[in-house]
Structure formats: C-alpha cells, structure tokens
Structure 1
C-alpha cells in the first residue's frame, strides 16, 4: 500500500491557527522539552543547502527534509521546499507523508504567535493594549502567514507591513484584504509606535535601529537561522528581556543573539525557553522591550504533523 499524502491544501485545512497554537501549547505543557530537540542537520546543495530535521515523541516520530534556495524569491519561487515523513514511534513504520513547505509555513507563525501571546500576557498591566499595533517585516510566505496568525491570535490588533519590494507588499495586502484582514503599507518610521514587531525576512543584517523600539514592545525575530545572520541589532538585544525557543538551539543558530553577547554570557543569563514561557515563568521588566528569538525546531514540525495526520483528509 502506498503511504497517504497530505498536500498543501490538506495540511492547511487540518491546522488552522487556533488549532496549531493550542497543539504546541499542549505539547509543551505535557512535557515536550525544547532542550532535548534534535539538532538540525545541514548539507550543501546546488545554490543552497539541504536541511534534515528529525524529532521523536511518544506516539509519533518524524523527519522533515527541506531544501533552502536563497536565490529563489528573486525568481518568484519559494525559498524553502520539502516534505515531511511521519513515523509510528512504536514500530518505526512510516505512516504518512505531507507537504513540508506548507507545514513549515504553518508551524513557524503558530510558534511565534504562541510566544507573543504569552509574552504579552506577562506584561505589566499598564503596558497592555486591547488594540496592539503589529508591524511585520517581510512580504514572503512567512510574513503573509504571520499576519494571518496574528489576526487569529490577537483580536483587535492593527496591522502594517514593511517590505523591500513595493509590488510584493501590495500583493500581500491584496491577498489579505480578500480574506477580510486589513493591512496597510508601513515603513521603519512605524517602529517606535509598534507594540508587536514580527521579523520574518531573509535579511542577513538588522532591519531597523533597536533604539527605536518602544519600551514594553514585543519583538520576534524568526526569519533567519545561522550565526552569521541577524534581523535585529545588538542594541535591541542588550536592552530587552529575552525569550528563546530553546537555549541549545539558540546557541547553535541564533545569530540575532550571539553577536550581542558571548555563548558564555548567555549560558550565565539562562534565558527562558518556550516550555518555561508557556508555564508562566516569565517576569517582564517594566519599561523594557521583550525579544523572542526563534530559529525553527523539529519538535514543532512533529506536533503540527500529528495534528494534520489525526484530523486531516488524506489522499
């Protein structure tokens, strides 16, 4: 028998934003430890790289095989493409395959907005807003889906988007308008007024002056991985409370953090990871921004893939 395959539409239909966020929260509450996640495996590919992301769990295990082609967006193609293989943990028998690109496009914003939601909930009462201004950097699929996820997770929020190519920004705005999500074109001049800043770009250099970020604002830098790539500058890192996906993964791949402080300094600081954040352990410093740094982790793929397998319509 051939393995069932979940195409992009099936993955998307089975994991709406509230469902995906809730599944990630539940996994962390039930004991998933980001510090035990398997390291991402890299290998060169023509014009880019291969990524393998294995993960194991009680009921399911799995591996995501991706290609990353940095030159693709300029050609109108996806930067990240791949497939996911879900495996039965008891027998190690393959159970299903699914579109790895769509899985990535869902689990990354779901993880980011889960983190943002809990960071906002930990804010001092005087710093909370019912209608936060959300500023998104990027105009690709991750920026588009971060806006969709933010609309679902942050009711009442107002949205603006910043991108290098005006035509892509307008296309994104039009796509979201057709879905009933109002977004305006923004610029770096909006940074001081933003309550939440989501960085979902392929930029390898900081997107804005970290000194412009408002006291109490939440910044999520999730568009890049690798110690030679950064979306935010050291000034923002040094003036912020910091939350990471996992401390080990951040030390391996979070270029937003390592230039600002050494690995030894981060080990001493011991920033909270997502499991601790969801458990309510974050105590925000009044008047400080909070930075969430994410690089993408295999356990998030596995949790989302299980949601798709158990609730989706397969071929």
Structure 2
C-alpha cells in the first residue's frame, strides 16, 4: 500500500506558546473570572447615619404604635393593655371631633392656595429678568421664619387695639377700631389662621415648582409659538403637564404641613376650640390631661391619615415626564 503525504504544512508551535501551559479542560476553555472582594467601607461610612435615623425616627415610631394600645395615664397607673380603648375614647371626644373639622379646613384651603400661588409665582419667575435673584431671596424669608415668630408677627397685625387690620377698617369707617378678628367667629378664625400658614408654606411651593419649570426646554415653547399657540395654550399644554412631578411634591409637603399645623393656631388663638387643630389636641391630651395613651393613639391616626392622603395625591397628580 502506498502512503500519500498531505500538501498542508504541519503547524509548528512557537517557543513562547510552548512555555505557556494550557488551561485545564482544553485550549478553548476561558479561565473563570476572579471573584471581587466584598467592600465593607461604604457600609461602615453610612452606618452612623442609619443608626441615627433608626434611633431618631424608627424607634419612637414603633414605641408610639405599641403604646397606643395601652392605657398610659399618669393619673391612673399602672400601664395596662387597653386594646382599642384609646381610639374609642377619641371618637367620643368633642374637642377632638371639632379639631378634626378645623384641620380638614386647614388642609383643603392650605393645599389649594399654596399650590395655586406656587404655580402662578413660578411661571412669573420662570423667565430671567433683572432683580430676579433678589425677589427669590425675599420670597424665601416667610418660609425660613419659625412658625412661632410668624404667629407673634401676625398677632400684632390682628390685634384689635391698634393692629394694622383694625386701623385700616377704622380709617375706612367700617369699624370702631376695636374689632376682634380671632376667637369669636369659628370660620373667620380658621380662615385667618390658615392664611398665615399659607404665607409661610407658599414660598417653598414656589421654589419646588420653579425648579421643575427650569427643566422644561425652551424649544418646546418656541415650537408651540410657531404652531400658533398663545401663552394660555402653552401653559395648559406644556407647562402644566411637564410640571406635574413638582406640583405633586408641592401638594404633598403642603398636606404634611397643614395636617400637622400647631404653631400658628396656638400662638394666634391659644387653646380656644374655634381654631384648634388635631396636633394641638395631641398636645393637650398628652401634656395637660397626662393621658399619654390617647396621645399616642391620636398621633398614630395623624400619621396614618397623612400617609394615605399623600399617597392619594401622588397617585392622582404625579406623572413621569420624559423629555
């Protein structure tokens, strides 16, 4: 039998390749990637903040939830389990029921007015103009002041003896100069108190919505103007839809502020029921009546209502915007 030799030359291994050992499993097998080490440093850096938040917020929250189901009264010791007894007593407390009506008015009026003012002022401040930075700086002042300070300032304005409003009404011959504005009529009292709070929270609403409007490209307004859209049509079809994330955040912060209003009613109207809020009732029940169990229960209800209303507002108003 005759042997034939192939014309293809045999491969010759280079000296460098001969020195490299083949990986186990064949020449085509890829060596497994080296496992990265777990870096614990980032977790160590944020650990103090997490511990601080847990001690400041989570622990008191859990304690409040647990204690709301116990009878905790310094005048009626010892502490004992009471189930839903605290909530039942709150439902029959006339002062609490009245404060719920006042707080509902604060929330509706406060959220509506602060949002409308925020949208209007943000649209005005959207385009740069001379003195814009100064206007924004002055606008922040009411929000930066503590609520107690604002209550004291406005108590002088509402003062029936020489206050600004009383003097104006007297000069216009609409009163005798001693008109009592707070504490007499319930609707007038809570309206004036809420106007003071809106004066405080509206600047933050303006800044939040203004920050959202700054993200809207100017080309959209130019294209709308070319297509024949006027200012009002551009506002309805461009500004409002694209500002909905900022408006949602604005409304949520207004809900939280108005549901937990305390400083303005307490400073302007004291403990009178004509303007008391639910948060004020929490203070009175806990630190005047020393019934901490009912105070815990009312605080828990305020927290739940705040979360529910905030979620409803976010679901109804918020829309994701992609430019």
Answer yes or no: same fold by TM over 0.5: no
TM-score range with shorter-chain normalisation? under 0.3
Q: Which has a greater percent of helix? A: 2
Q: Which has the higher contact order (CA 8 A, sep 6+)?
A: 2
Q: Which has a greater percent of strand? A: 1
Q: TM-score if structure 1 supplies the norm length?
A: 0.24
Q: TM-score if structure 2 supplies the norm length?
A: 0.23
